[in-house]
Structure 1
């Protein structure tokens, strides 16, 4: 019983942190480019993680490094850029809604590629959650008809990568400590991110003198410390203590937090979206795998 409560606490905390990440990205993009945002976020997160867990590298088995590096690129590197690019054209709340495709992709990929079984209850929960997500997308499109939804493909591609990452951690890194996984991830992607940051023109006078540059740095700093570094460790712990589907169902709760921030920032919200949000909560509940 205690374990069940801990899982739900982790799920809610992650939902609040990650749900707030979308508005932080939106605000940061007012002062820097999407490539600078993705690269700086990755570099700062790496520095945070190295400062507290660099000693963990010595204890990682050589055979696990290929999975740690692959996990880093799929779960952190590419999505950091893809979400930043997507939010140049679509609202932060829409991006968070599309991110709810992760559990569906997790079930499908876990079954087809990794051989990880899911219960009928979990599958029903994912379908119900997906229906709620679809309603949110449709109603959001009605409220924002001028948005370029082609950029939503960047978010959808990220959800596929997230799903693969969740299954990789559950299948191949189950016995690696959550902090060690996070540090290992960023050992693999830190240098590529630094190269992109240099290429992006971040260290130029033009960037430093941009009107919203200082505030953008503040938003990226908060995003890196809480939205990436801390949440990565929490999420890895959640995957190991539960199931890939339950862990990825955090993406069902994130839109509720993101929508709240979106409304406060002037983005629209309707009664239909409220109904869809309730359907999503039902999906989260059903996706929790009960022990027999």
Structure 2
């Protein structure tokens, strides 16, 4: 029996989706991996607070059309929650990663960032009574061992423990933020939520950015990096991520977490000449492996 035009069209669409989603996951991982390289370049010249303010503001601008389109879904009463989540899930973590980028290679921040998936499960267990299970408990232990290995390492003779602590704290805040979003903002358009939280975070950071604005004008290379952080790594990346969630679901979309450190280390090695040390490799394997273990069967 010959295939009908409709069945041929459906088969073609299925084939397109079969390669489209993995390609977009890899693209998103490459973009978010590059964000740690851009922070490494821009943070020493801008400082953490101004860098984060520009990043938040540019990311919000890119996403504002989504918020404007869905503005009827955002009553005045919900904005305090949006502001709090923006501070917890964007402003403070971005500042911690920017601070870490001034003191450690790009790969350090990217590896600790992977702990966000584990911390999301831990926060849900500690504060919301969700079951964590044996598999996720083992994953948390392996992830924390990876953090200890990473924190005890040295790069070019200097300790990176402070940067690891900052990145791990940021990942923990991401875990809190993810739970708050899931419980208080469910049903709202995700890209519009991202625009609202980034905008709120930008307003929160503005006084500190003004207070710590660099006395010396940053170089064009640093300006390029901070613009890419805001427009590409925040605005465009969030839009791409939420589109993936709508198409393949959150459980599959979060697998991008496994790839981000690999791209971050690769970009930093290729473009900044940063080496991959043995402790970074061991810690990365432990943390990324633990994240994969925690997601298995989800």
Per the normalisation by structure 2, the TM-score is 0.78
1:75 aligns with 2:89: yes
Q: What is the total number of aligned residue pairs between the two structures?
A: 281
- Matching residue of 1:268: 275
* Residue segments in structure 2 that go unaligned for 5+ positions in a row: 1-13
Which whole-Å CA distance do the structure 1 matches of 2:193 and 2:105 have between them? Answer: 31
The one of 196, 214, 233 equivalent to 1:184 is 196
- Matching residue of 2:295: 288
Could you say what secondary structure the match of 1:287 adopts?
Answer: helix
The one of 124, 131, 144 equivalent to 1:110 is 124
Is the contact made by 2:73 and 2:188 (CA closer than 8 Å) also made in structure 1?
no
Distance 1:238 1:288, change over 3 A: farther
1:157 aligns with 2:169: yes
Is the contact made by 1:119 and 1:289 (CA closer than 8 Å) also made in structure 2?
no
Which whole-Å CA distance do the structure 2 matches of 1:153 and 1:142 have between them? Answer: 14
Deviation per CA, 1:156-197, whole angstroms, max 9, x where unpaired?
Answer: 221111101111122222211111111221332232233333
Deviation per CA, 1:25-46, whole angstroms, max 9, x where unpaired?
Answer: 1111343222221111112222
Deviation per CA, 1:67-87, whole angstroms, max 9, x where unpaired?
Answer: 322221111111222211122
Which whole-Å CA distance do the structure 2 matches of 1:115 and 1:4 have between them? Answer: 37
Which whole-Å CA distance do the structure 1 matches of 2:191 and 2:224 have between them? Answer: 24
Distance 1:275 1:157, change over 3 A: closer
> How big is the alpha-carbon RMSD for the aligned residues of Structure 1 and Structure 2?
3.4
Distance 1:5 1:194, change over 3 A: same
Larger radius of gyration, structure 1 or 2? 2
Distance 1:197 1:142, change over 3 A: closer
Which whole-Å CA distance do the structure 1 matches of 2:19 and 2:131 have between them? Answer: 23
* Residue segments in structure 1 that go unaligned for 5+ positions in a row: none
